[in-house]
Amino acid sequence: MEEIIKYAGCFVCGDQNPEGLRIRFYYDDHRQAVADCEADPKFQGYKGVFHGGLAATLLDEIMVKAVLAERRYAMTAEMSVRFKSAIRVGERLHLIGRVTRRRGRLFETEGEIVTSDGAIRATATGKYLELPEDTRRTML
């Protein structure tokens, strides 16, 4: 597997953000974005439960990484999350993201958070808009 590009200061993938999650993302043989991480107790919402906002953040990141796996740079335009069951703090999580459709500059995606025993904890769909070249140069 090949590592997907990261941004040094990014909260999720940045390796130079001291407050960040520092998750490494890869694309697999099917050009899906994948990553593994742990539901860190410091991101607890209710007692023993990983905060839903952080779960949504992980889904957003895995879906945009799926676009990056196609060597395209994009930003979130729309996202919908469905929580199937609580993510417990301390659980090992596997993230999967894929592009399901492309129409011009718009990428439609799907993402999943799966536990080590195969339980799907949350899913998402998203729309990501490819950045114009001048915006991309400014942001990167």
CA count, 13 A, side-chain hemisphere, 131: 17
CA atoms of 91 and 39, how far apart (whole Å): 5
On whether the 2-139 domain is CATH 3.10.129.10, my answer is yes
pTM: 0.93
Burial class (CB within 10 angstroms; exposed 0-12, middle 13-18, buried 19+) of 3: exposed
For residue 57, pLDDT over 90 is answered with yes
Biggest CA–CA distance in the chain, Å, is 45
When pLDDT is cut at 50, 70 and 90, the band that residue 17 belongs to is: very high
**Which residue from 126, 34, 123 is spatially nearest to 87, judged by alpha carbons?**
123
pLDDT digits (tens, 9 = 90+) for 31-48: 899 999 999 999 999 999
Tokens 């930003």 map to which residue? 75
Element (H, E) at 62: helix 52-68
Percentage of residues of the chain with pLDDT beyond 90: 79
Amino acid residing at 24: R
pLDDT digits (tens, 9 = 90+) for 87-110: 999 999 999 999 999 999 999 999
Write down the domain spans for the chain. 2-139
- What's residue 139's pLDDT? 67
